[in-house]
Amino acid sequence: MNREFYYWLTVTEKFPEHRCRIPFTFKVRGVSMYPLIRSGIDDVTMVRWLKDSELRPGSIVFFECNQVALGYVLHRIIKRDGDKILTMGDGNLCCDGWTDVDSVIGRVVKINRGRFVFDPDNKAGKLYFALWKRLLPIRRQMLCGIHFCGRMRHCIKGRQQ
């Protein structure tokens, strides 16, 4: 992460009463949340979480994870059991494993893709999560189809130019 992230992290730790009012926006890298969040295209806005009730299944969270090289992951909460959460990327086929709630740094409140703004906590966001969760048994085929259509679109655009 960059210097701005560490500055935001420091400020929100020193002033916990203002955590939910100080958003941080960054460009996402990686494909684990595809197709909802696209690497290098989408900006994600997150805030520090204040209440345990904010961390519920369907919430997209940014947390520390020592299983990855960079140490931070942006994934969705699938289940919660007390102080433990089970997370999984929308583009993944298996869960990450149980993580402590204390490792969560922020909760995503907005996804920006150009003029399109998506709120994962509104009705459309909750519907997307419910549908995507139910499609887990055929997610591999769906992701292959989405990737194939994306490659075909790029090929067609390349021929038109």
Strand segments (E) across the chain: 24-27, 43-47, 60-64, 72-81, 84-88, 97-100, 104-113, 116-118
Backbone angles phi, psi at 100, to 5 degrees: -70, 140
**Residue 139 burial (C-beta neighbours within 10 Å; 0-12, 13-18, 19+):** middle
SS3 state at 153 = helix
For residue 8, the model assigns a pLDDT of 74
pLDDT in tens, 6-37: 777 777 777 766 666 778 888 888 888 988 89
87: pLDDT strictly greater than 90: yes
Mean pLDDT check: name the lowest of 53-57, 104-108, 111-115: 53-57
Helix extents (H) in 15-138: 123-134
Q: Label residue 71 left, alpha or beta by phi (over 0 means left) and psi (-120 to 50 means alpha).
A: left
Domains and their CATH numbers in the chain: 3-136 (2.10.109.10)
3: pLDDT strictly greater than 90: no
Q: For residues 91 and 146, is the Cβ–Cβ distance under 8 A?
A: no
Q: What's the pTM value of the predicted model, to 2 decimals?
A: 0.81
Helix extents (H) in 85-138: 123-134
Q: Measured between alpha carbons, how far is residue 48 from residues 104, 117, 122, 149 in Å?
A: 9, 20, 18, 36
Tokens 């994962």 correspond to 120
Q: CA 92, 93, 95: angle at the middle one, nearest 5?
A: 80
